[in-house]
Structure formats: structure tokens, C-alpha cells
Amino acid sequence: MSESFETPNSSPPSALAQLKQHTIVVADTSDFQSMREYEPRDATTNPSLVLKAASKEEYAYLVDEVVAQAKADGVTSATAVVDRLLVRFGCEILEIVPGRVSTEVDARLSFDTDGSVSKARELIAAYEEKGISRERILIKLASTWEGVQAARVLETEGIHCNMTLLFSLAQAVACADVEAQLISPFVGRIMDWYKAKTGETYEGAADPGVQSVTEIFNYYKKFGHETEVMGASFRNIGEIKELVGCDLLTISPSLLEELQHDTETLDLKLDASVAQSSSLEKVSYDEKSFRFALNEDAMATEKLAQGIRSFALDVCKLESLAAEKLG
């Protein structure tokens, strides 16, 4: 595919500016200054990013304000304070970005459909109490079978879901079948797994994370799924350049900075019209076939489990911080 973004007789715009012409750029951070600088449309957060931000001196006032209000309201649960902190960060982010913010359900509920639904409703209610429409919130759920079933329920209530920790086509198909709003396939973590297993270095279109997102994008467009594809977890800007044309890409501040200073002319890589001619065949999963397909994919199985453990650990760290502040 040869379409490029350079205009005749002029120096090319930054790679970031070119990317924004065909892909919605999302900030993968809880750092407010980065969002102001790079002007993404949306922002994504997770417990790890909120923990990192909450531990910085410049955000200490937010934590203190949330804890003080919780005390005034008679709240004694560290878990409840963490929920309030996530929503507070989300509200602050929505003062900066014009679009949506993603807020994650506790990873310890990844295998609990009812618990995930209940927590999502609580988070949405907390946003709405602050005057934020649910249309501006994406509830992040792990792409387990239980998470997918939670999304099925929530989407019927107008609570839109961002299906995270997604590493396989099977997960992507299940998410699309319940009409989840958006998926976040983890490009870099897929590449990490293959690099660790083979000792090889992957670049460009040979990157297995890039190949996974390309396959999912083509599948969705070929079969008319409206679920948005948002590539995530990038390790370098080479991966990003290979996914120009993806619906959305969520990018860390360090890589946004690299793209801002890069002037290479970018080519369109993903194209919905081209996807129609792909050789992909339509598939569907019930619980048994989904679990088996996931089990057969060692990379997806291992990275999903690892991701859940990591996010759960950071939730525990956030709770420890809240408990310490509560006194």
C-alpha cells in the first residue's frame, strides 16, 4: 500500500500529525501534562498508571482530597477510596481530553461476571454523580470469558466497555459477538513473549504483535463488526507505524514524544476496504470452545494470566496507599 501523507513541495509534518490523519490517538497515561502537550482525543488508564501518577508529588493533592472527602463521608474501606481515586483521575482527565476516558474494573474480579457488572455500575454511577455522561466513559474489563459476559450485560445498559488484556483472535471474536464498544489488543506484550521464547528481534510487519492486530482489524472489517480496535502496549514507534489506519492507538508519553520529533513519511497500513478481500473465515465461540481456543494459544494464556496478576498487585498497592492515608 503506497498512500502517504507528505504534501508536495513541503517538509512532511511530524509522524504524530500524520498518524492523527487516519487513526485516533489516545494517551496511555494518567499524567495530565502529557495529555495537554500531545492533544489526544481519548485517554486510557489502569491501576498501574494511576499508582504511578498518585505516587508523584504533583498529584499528591488529588489523593489527599479524595481521602479527606472519604473521611468526611464516613468511608473506611480502602477499596472504596481507590474507586473514588480512579473516578477523580478520570474526571480530571476529561477536563483535558475532548473524548473518552477508560477506567478499569478491579482485576481481582476478572473471573467474576456478577462482580464485574456490579463494580462497573458503581463506577458509572460515581461519574454520573459528578455530571459526567456515561458516553464519555469506557469501563475496562479483562478479556476473560467472564469479562466478555459482563460486557454483554453492560452494553445493553449503555455502559460501554474497553476489553483489555487481549492477545488473541478468539478473545477479539468473543468481544465483538457481545458488541463490546472497544478492544485493546496488547501489541508489545505479544512481541515480548515471542522474543523471550525465540531470542529473536522482531521489527516492522514481522512483529507478531503487529500481525495479531492486523488480523483482528481485518476480521472485524470483513465481517462488519462495529467494535473499535485500539492497539495498545507499544514497545517502539516502529510498531505504531505498522498500524497506521487502525481505529485507535493508545500510546505512552515517551513514544508520543518520539513521534512528535519524527518526520518520516508514514504509509497507510490498515484499510477497511482492503480487509474485505482477506481470506479470514468467520468463527464463533461458546464458553467451552472459547476456553479451549485460549488454552491452545500459549502466548495468550500466559500473557492474560500475567496481566491480571500485575494489575491486581497494583490495585493492592493502591489500597495500601489509601489505607495509610485513611490512618
Q: Which three cell numbers stand for residue 62?
A: 488529588
Residue 7, domain member (yes or no): no
Q: Quote the pLDDT of residue 9.
A: 55
Q: Quote the pLDDT of residue 47.
A: 83
CATH number of the domain encompassing residue 239: 3.20.20.70
Q: Quote the pLDDT of residue 2.
A: 46
Residue 1, domain member (yes or no): no
Q: Quote the pLDDT of residue 46.
A: 86
Catalytic residue among 140, 241, 269, 325: 140
What does the alpha-carbon distance between residue 96 and residue 45 come to, in Å, rounded to a whole number?
A: 14
Show the domain range for 303.
15-326
Q: Pick from 272, 259, 267: which is nearest to 228 by CA? A: 272
Residue 6, domain member (yes or no): no
Residue 300, domain member (yes or no): yes
Q: Quote the pLDDT of residue 172.
A: 98
Residues in Cβ contact with 278 at an 8 Å cutoff, skipping those fewer than 6 apart: 218, 219, 222
Q: Pick from 286, 283, 149: which is nearest to 216 by CA? A: 283
**Average pLDDT by stretches of 10, the chain with 327 residues:** 52 92 95 94 89 88 93 95 95 97 97 98 98 98 98 98 98 98 98 97 96 98 98 97 98 97 96 93 97 98 97 95 90
Per the structure, the count of domains in the chain is 1
Q: Quote the pLDDT of residue 295.
A: 98
What does the alpha-carbon distance between residue 163 and residue 144 come to, in Å, rounded to a whole number?
A: 9
Q: Quote the pLDDT of residue 92.
A: 95
Assess whether 317 carries a catalytic annotation: no
